[in-house]
Structure 1
């Protein structure tokens, strides 16, 4: 199974009740990976949220990824970590989490994409494909042409993120990208389960 196929990134502004609802629904709808993103909360709150989601994912085969924080990933024994360009260097992160955990890295331009090919990571999050309100500091958008070129040039699996929704996900999938990550299209759906089912159908 392609674990990157339908990759849910959580909305840090949802409380634990809303988050629990989204995760349960997304599991039922066929999500294949879950990343917890917490940019503003304190570390105890982050660990608490991670423990709740880890319990929901138990025995589902869906990996739990922690955004940015190696300490939180180690504290809850998550399946992996996703780093940004200003986070801990990938080689140090790999040493800390060991060889068997999943390690992802965001790349935001072609230079970063090229440099990342030699790093000890499992996949790259390619961001942002389209402009998105979820990420306000975007400098560069890849668009479909840029994503297609990146897929052809990268030896590492790529996960596309940023501004992807039901209207454009089919076009994104046609680039043969390994995975597609979404925040709003799942987290803010009335039924995240139905949203995931529809998105999976559109991916094909």
Structure 2
């Protein structure tokens, strides 16, 4: 059984959300709406500030059992005592992350191309997140891969690791969520579709419902095939 329930990864991006919001409250709202992972991403803040924010978010959601991951920063994850990290091609190698965080930590990996897909196969990771699929207001994607690119990279990974959760990221909102699941995703990772909405909890619920329904449809199709 996979360690990670990847159906809805709500990314608390400090740069996108802004300094005037209570990140712990936003994260908890997303969890109450159905987020199954919370990820804290912060590219520009001082390390001490990042640790304090990670602790704030972790304290807010800890009782729910939903894990908190820190994007990129293994040192912040260690200091804040969270459940894991999400890394990419320019971050610490997965083998080093695993050695530092131990066997129980959750490690996610960004996959953008075939080399990354091979790294997902070779690495001791708990999920892969493929993208960016589309343009997004929170992060520039120079070469969006779309659903066809997602299918190609997911197929490479699943040929060797059929049970590894694989998510889709970038430009995924409510309308594209069923299409992402249809393309083979186990779930979606979002920022704006939750945290730039007037009611983050309701937005998360809509996305989670869409994921669950799309997964049910896929399951029925498999049984009928």
Q: Which 5+ residue runs of structure 2 have no aligned equivalent?
A: 214-225
Aligned length: 203
Q: Is the 2:8–2:188 contact (alpha carbons within 8 Å) kept by the matching residues of 1?
A: yes
Alpha-carbon displacement from aligned partner over 1:117-152 (angstroms, at most 9, x marks no partner): 11111111211011212222x233221122123333
Q: Please name the residue that 1:171 is paired with.
A: 179
Q: Is the 1:108–1:140 contact (alpha carbons within 8 Å) kept by the matching residues of 2?
A: no
- Deviation of residue 16 (structure 1)? 6.0
Q: Is the 2:11–2:190 contact (alpha carbons within 8 Å) kept by the matching residues of 1?
A: yes
Matches within 5 A, 1:1-204: 3-13=5-15, 14-15=18-19, 17-136=21-140, 138-154=141-157, 155=161, 156-203=164-211, 204=213
- Deviation of residue 158 (structure 1)? 1.2
Q: Please name the residue that 2:217 is paired with.
A: none
Aligned CA-pair RMSD? 1.6
2: distance between equivalents of 1:153 and 1:174?
A: 17
| TM-score normalized with structure 2 length | 0.85
Q: Is the 1:68–1:84 contact (alpha carbons within 8 Å) kept by the matching residues of 2?
A: yes
Q: Per the alignment, in what secondary structure is the counterpart of residue 140 of structure 1?
A: coil
Q: Per the alignment, in what secondary structure is the counterpart of residue 133 of structure 1?
A: coil
